[in-house]
Amino acid sequence: SLLLNLSTVQPSNLPPKKMKNIVVFLGAPGAGKGTAAAAVAARTGARHVSTGAMLRDAVARGTPAGLEAKSYMEAGGLVPDEVLYRMVAELLAATPDGATLFFDGFPRNEAQAAKLDELAAASGATVASALLLDVSREALLERLGGRRVCPKCGAGFHVKSLPPKVEGVCDACGAELVTRVDDQPATIAHRLEVYESATAPVVGFYEKAGKLRRIDATGTPEDVAKAVEAQV
């Protein structure tokens, strides 16, 4: 009879699993994190995970954390960190080995950054790097303050970088363009203050860990996407 040599099937002789890689996108409102992450994800096959998209996906799939988050959202409240953490854990568990995830909008503070490391380790993943899209405050104010949106079809414009053919009028449907509430001057100032006080310290967290990569994001979206792609 043939004897099975068990030593040949021990875990030590099996090829190691490929780690799941997480790249965190950092930057102030208006820095272009979502635009760059989406563009590079499309080119590289990575998955772009914005916090909002993750919430909507979990709710749509009816995951345990998604259903709990839905109850908070329907009541008009914020989704607690503990629920958000369970959603991240569900996402990582469902991600195949060797895949790359671009996290956009999470983590937002040092506590969340530390928790992400913990969740990653538990699911065979690692935070490979954190990309800081660097833009001056003056440029951010110009970007955010110049945005216009169509209330009818949702098309977006910018008074300088992407103006409509007719000033104040949507190219797609002809409706009058408006400035979003969160793009009003007072709201912009508040959003930047919140970023500086809560989210900016995350930069120090990843810098201390040796994972921070700074990217000049003052160029065109294509220039920024190329710089990001070179880092991932």
From the list 18, 43, 61, 180, the catalytic residue is: 180
From the list 56, 152, 191, 226, the catalytic residue is: 191
33 is known as an active-site residue: yes
From the list 86, 143, 147, 148, the catalytic residue is: 147
From the list 33, 86, 143, 148, the catalytic residue is: 33
How far apart (Å, rounded) are the C-alpha atoms in residues 204 and 221? 25
180 is known as an active-site residue: yes
| Ramachandran area for residue 139 (φ above 0: left; ψ -120 to 50: alpha; else beta) | alpha
108 is known as an active-site residue: yes
From the list 47, 56, 108, 213, the catalytic residue is: 108
For residues 51 and 19, is the Cβ–Cβ distance under 8 A?
Answer: no
List, by residue number, the catalytic residues: 33, 108, 147, 180, 191
